[in-house]
Structure 1
Amino acid sequence: MSSADEPRDVRVLLVEDHDMVAEALQLALDRADGITVVGRARSRAEAVPHAIEHAPDVVVLDRRLADGDALGVIAQLAAGDARVLVLTGDATPAVAVQVAKAGGAGLLLKSAQLGVLERAVRDVAAGAVVFDPELLPGVLHQLTGRGPGGGAALTARERETLDLLAEGATTDEIGRRLGVSRNTTRNHVQRVLEKLGARSKLEAVAVARREGLIG
Structure 2
Amino acid sequence: MTVPTARPVVVADARPVVAEGLAGALGRHPGLGVVGLSDPDRLVDVLDARAGTTVVLLPSAGGSDSFSAVLRAAVPPGTTVVLVGAATAAWPPDVVVQVLPAGCTAQELADVLARPGPHRTPVTPPGAAAPADVLHGLTPRQREVLALLAEGVSTPEIARRMAVSVNTVRTHVNVLLHRLGVHSRLRAVALYADAAGAGWPPPHDHGA
Distance 2:92 2:108 in 1: 19
Distance 1:116 1:71 in 2: 23
Aligned length: 145
Shift of 1:129: 5.0
The partner residue of 1:80 within 77, 81, 84 is 77
TM-score by length of 1: 0.51
Q: Is the 8 A contact 1:58 1:84 kept in 2?
A: yes
Identify unmatched segments of 5+ residues in structure 1: 140-164, 169-199
Distance 2:102 2:152 in 1: 19
| 1:61 paired residue number | 57
TM-score by length of 2: 0.52
Superposed CA deviations along residues 91-125 of structure 1, whole A, max 9, x for unmatched, are 26xx47x24746142122443111221122124x5
Distance 2:13 2:93 in 1: 22
The amino acid that maps onto 2:42 is E
| 1:172 paired residue number | none
| Bigger relative contact order (CA 8 A; separation at least 6) | 2
> What's the C-alpha RMSD, in Å, of the aligned pairs?
4.0
| 1:106 paired residue number | 98
| 2:141 paired residue number | none
Superposed CA deviations along residues 165-188 of structure 1, whole A, max 9, x for unmatched, are 9748xxxxxxxxxxxxxxxxxxxx
Among the aligned pairs, what percent are the same residue? 19
| 2:117 paired residue number | 126
Q: Is the 8 A contact 1:134 1:206 kept in 2?
A: no
Shift of 1:21: 1.9
CA spacing shift, 1:116–1:202, aligned 2, 3 Å:
farther
Distance 1:138 1:54 in 2: 27
Q: Is the 8 A contact 2:26 2:107 kept in 1?
A: no
Helix, strand or coil at the partner of 1:23:
helix
The partner residue of 1:136 within 124, 138, 150 is 150
Identify unmatched segments of 5+ residues in structure 2: 123-145, 154-179, 184-189, 203-208
| 2:193 paired residue number | 203
Shift of 1:205: 5.4
The amino acid that maps onto 1:116 is E
Q: Is the 8 A contact 2:84 2:152 kept in 1?
A: no
